[in-house]
């Protein structure tokens, strides 16, 4: 594992020291240490850590909200060491808020490396899936726009589907724009034209 910049959240000085020593021995650097998750998103924005490690009794509502906001705006792998044994719902809520590895038996310095490796692998896999899902959603939305524009052109110009598509493709090439953007422009123009002609 390469040297990682770590944002550490813990309010127990002894635990902080133990974790810092474990991280230091692995060659990692703690760029920021906080007592709680208040302003977590802002601190991640400011310090650009590679990973966030949180060590506390249990994730409360504020902690879950802070992690969720960070995961949406500045996604990073999050390792959560819970000092208390928590129920399945608490663990599930934490994972839904962006936690990559949830350890419910507290911090054990000798396991830090394996846990961090696992968290990063989970985060990377999840990020790839999310990117693929977003890409699929975008492609579906683009296809819908193109189909709608073709339908409107066919009706407006009395042409068939192939001619309508060729019209869109030529417009896209002439304007140096993407096909879905041109299709949306055509929809906007034809809707306006149809609105005025009513």
**What's the confidence (pLDDT) of residue 196?**
61
**What's the confidence (pLDDT) of residue 179?**
92
5-107 against 135-197: fold identical: no
**What's the confidence (pLDDT) of residue 43?**
92
Class of 135-197 in CATH:
mainly alpha
**What's the confidence (pLDDT) of residue 198?**
53
In CATH terms, the fold of domain 5-107 is Rossmann fold (3.40.50)
Residue 188: C-alpha distances to residues 106, 146, 153, 162, 196 (Å): 57, 12, 12, 21, 12
C-beta of residue 45 within 8 angstroms of C-beta of residue 75: no
pLDDT below 50 — which residues of the chain?
none
Domain coordinates in residue numbering, the chain: 5-107, 135-197
**What's the confidence (pLDDT) of residue 57?**
79
């Amino acid at each position: 594992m390469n040297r990682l910049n770590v944002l550490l959240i813990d309010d127990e000085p002894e635990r902080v020291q133990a974790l810092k020593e474990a991280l230091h021995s692995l060659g990692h650097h703690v760029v920021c240490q906080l007592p709680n998750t208040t302003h977590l998103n802002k601190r991640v924005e400011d310090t650009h850590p590679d990973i966030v490690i949180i060590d506390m009794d249990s994730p409360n509502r504020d902690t879950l909200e802070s992690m969720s906001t960070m995961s949406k705006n500045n996604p990073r792998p999050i390792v959560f060491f819970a000092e208390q044994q928590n129920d399945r719902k608490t663990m599930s809520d934490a994972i839904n808020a962006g936690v990559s590895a949830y350890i419910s038996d507290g911090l054990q310095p000798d396991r830090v490396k394996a846990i961090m490796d696992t968290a990063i692998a989970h985060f990377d896999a999840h990020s790839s899936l999310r990117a693929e899902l977003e890409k699929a959603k975008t492609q579906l939305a683009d296809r819908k726009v193109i189909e709608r524009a073709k339908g409107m052109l066919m009706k407006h110009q009395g042409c068939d589907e192939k001619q309508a598509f060729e019209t869109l493709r030529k417009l896209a090439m002439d304007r140096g724009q993407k096909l879905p953007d041109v299709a949306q422009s055509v929809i906007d123009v034809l809707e306006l034209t149809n609105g005025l002609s009513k």
